[in-house]
Structure 1
Amino acid sequence: MTTGPRPAEQAPAADGRGAAKVVAEGVPSAHRPDPHGDDGRRPVAWLHTVAPGRGVTPSVRSWCSCGRDLFAAGHRRALTLIADHQQHRTECPRIAPQEGRKAA
């Protein structure tokens, strides 16, 4: 009689054969990293433009995680908001790097 560790024995199944397999043969059982893993980036600013077609009023909405939420309807106003959104992306403290900037 041994008192030390010994290899585990396979428990018999209900039909008297060996225990059922946990995974199918050929299926890797080790945890593998997600190929589409989280790289730490998060969306911060969004620009949603709706321009359905000729004769329909275009609209634009600009959001940012800093609290910005602007809407414009009409061709001229939509173009103005698109330009303003691009400018905001260069100045927003959540997006633009703050290193080297002088305090206002």
Structure 2
Amino acid sequence: MTAPQPRPPGKSTTPTPNPPRPAEPAPPPTAMGEPKDVAEGVLTAVRPDPQPGNGRFPVAWLTICTPRDAIPTATSKCLCGRDRSAVGRSRVLALVAEHTGHREECPLHTPQEGRTAA
């Protein structure tokens, strides 16, 4: 075994009076509140639903994609199970007309009274 190295000048040579102790568990919280979702100090506001709804919801979708200098494509989907697609200008135009006609014959479409009056 070698002798301990002398300490450089200016360093403390006094031994630590109390050795470190093992960590103690944190005390249980005194009051239980609501769980926090955000950091303290952050204001939160619960706003009403901006779209409360009027009983209407989408039933059919028509998607048309016409990239520049490319062939146009379209898809027509409905919740009744109808799913059609078309490629090319003339077929896309025909699908648009077919989609418009399907709105009147779809089994999920229920005519609303007074719709024409509104």
TM range (shorter): 0.5 to 0.7
Residue 42 (structure 1) shift: 1.4
Instruction: Decide which of 79, 83, 103 is 1:69's aligned counterpart.
Output: 83
**Matched residue count:** 80
1:53 to 64, 68, 72: 68
Give the deviation of 1:93 after TM superposition: 1.6
Give the whole-Å Cα distance in 1 for the aligned partners of 2:47 and 2:75.
40
Once residues 35 and 71 of structure 1 are traced to their aligned partners in structure 2, the CA distance between those partners, rounded to angstroms, is 34
Deviation, 1:91, is 1.2
Q: Percent identical across equivalent pairs?
A: 48
- Structure 1 spans left out of the alignment, 5+ residues: 1-13, 100-104
CA distance 1:32–1:59, shift in 2 (3 Å): closer
1:84 aligns with 2:104: no
Runs of at least 4 residues of structure 1 off by over 6 A? none
Computing the radius of gyration over CA atoms, which structure comes out larger, 1 or 2?
A: 2
The DSSP-based 3-state class of the residue aligned with 2:107 is: coil
Separation in 1 of the partners of 2:55 and 2:112? 19
> RMSD in angstroms over aligned alpha carbons?
3.2
Tell me the SS of whatever aligns to 2:81. Answer: coil
C-alpha change, 1:33 and 1:71, in structure 2 (3 Å) is same
The separation in 2 between residues aligned to 1:96 and 1:75, in whole angstroms, is 32
TM-score, normalised with respect to structure 2: 0.52
2:54 maps to 39
Taking structure 1 as the reference length, what is the TM-score of the superposition? 0.58
